Amino acid sequence: MGALDIFCYTLWILGSVTAFPFGDTLNRQAVLKTNIQTTAQFPNNTWLENIAVRANGQLLVTTIVPDAAVYQVDPTQSHEPLLVAKFPSALACFGIVELGLDEFIVTTNNWTLSTAASPPGSNSAWKIDMTTFSESSGQGAVITKVADISTATYLNGMTVLDKTAGTVLMGDATLGVIFYLDTYSGEYEVVLDDVLMKITVPGPVKLGINGVRLLGDELYFTNNNQGLFVKVPIEKDGTAKGPYEIVARFDTILDDFAFDTTGNSYVTTDPDNTVDFVTQKGSVTTVLGNKNSTLVAGATSAAFGRTFEDEGILYIPTNGGLAGPVNGTFIEGGKVMAFDTSVVA
Ligand X SMILES: *[C@@H]1O[C@H](CO)[C@@H](O)[C@H](O)[C@H]1NC(C)=O
Among 87-95, 179-187, 198-206, 302-310, which window interacts with ligand X (CB under 6 A)?
Answer: 87-95
Residue in 33, 145, 241, 291 binding ligand X, rule: CB under 6 A:
291
Between CA 333 and CA 297 the distance in angstroms is 9
Among 124-132, 140-148, 270-278, 325-333, which window interacts with ligand X (CB under 6 A)?
Answer: 325-333
Q: Does 33 bind ligand X (CB under 6 A)?
A: no
Query: Phi-psi region for residue 96, left (φ > 0), alpha (ψ -120 to 50) or beta?
Result: beta
Among 83-91, 99-107, 161-169, 216-224, which window interacts with ligand X (CB under 6 A)?
Answer: 83-91
Q: Between residues 85 and 192, which has the closer beta carbon with respect to ligand X?
A: 85
Q: How many residues bind ligand X (CB under 6 A)?
A: 17
Q: How far is the CB of 122 from ligand X (least distance, A)?
A: 4
3-state secondary structure the chain: CCHHHHHHHHHHHHHCCCCCCCHHHCCCHHHHHHHEEEEEECCCCCEEEEEEECCCCCEEEEEEECCCEEEEECCCCCCCCEEEEECCCCCEEEEEEECCCCEEEEEEECCECCCCECCCCCCEEEEEECCCCCCCCCCCCEEEEEEECCCCCCEEEEEEEECCCCEEEEEECCCCEEEEEECCCCCEEEEEECHHHCCCCCCCCCCCEEEEEEECCEEEEEECCCCEEEEEEECCCCCECCCCEEEEECCCCEEEEEECCCCCEEEEECCCCEEEEECCCCCEEEEEECCCCCCCCCECCCEECCCCCCCCEEEEEECCCCCCCECCCECCCCEEEEEEHHHCC
Among 69-77, 116-124, 154-162, 228-236, which window interacts with ligand X (CB under 6 A)?
Answer: 116-124
Q: How far is the CB of 121 from ligand X (least distance, A)?
A: 5
Q: Between residues 144 and 329, which has the closer beta carbon with respect to ligand X?
A: 329
Residue in 38, 77, 115, 292 binding ligand X, rule: CB under 6 A:
292
> With the C-alpha atoms ordered 166, 240, 97, 204, is the resulting torsion angle positive or negative?
positive
Q: Does 294 bind ligand X (CB under 6 A)?
A: yes
Q: How far is the CB of 228 from ligand X (least distance, A)?
A: 22
Between CA 265 and CA 281 the distance in angstroms is 11
Q: Does 84 bind ligand X (CB under 6 A)?
A: no
Residue in 41, 122, 269, 286 binding ligand X, rule: CB under 6 A:
122
Q: Between residues 67 and 340, which has the closer beta carbon with respect to ligand X?
A: 67
Q: Does 85 bind ligand X (CB under 6 A)?
A: no
Q: What track of x and - describes contact with ligand X for positions 35 through 74 (by CB under 6 A)?
A: ---------x------------------------------
Among 46-54, 84-92, 215-223, 257-265, which window interacts with ligand X (CB under 6 A)?
Answer: 84-92
Q: Does 337 bind ligand X (CB under 6 A)?
A: no
Beta bridge partners of 159: 169
Q: Between residues 108 and 223, which has the closer beta carbon with respect to ligand X?
A: 108
Q: How far is the CB of 153 from ligand X (least distance, A)?
A: 11
Q: How far is the CB of 123 from ligand X (least distance, A)?
A: 9
Which stretches of the chain bind ligand X, using CB under 6 A? 44, 89-91, 110, 119, 121-122, 291-292, 294, 326-331
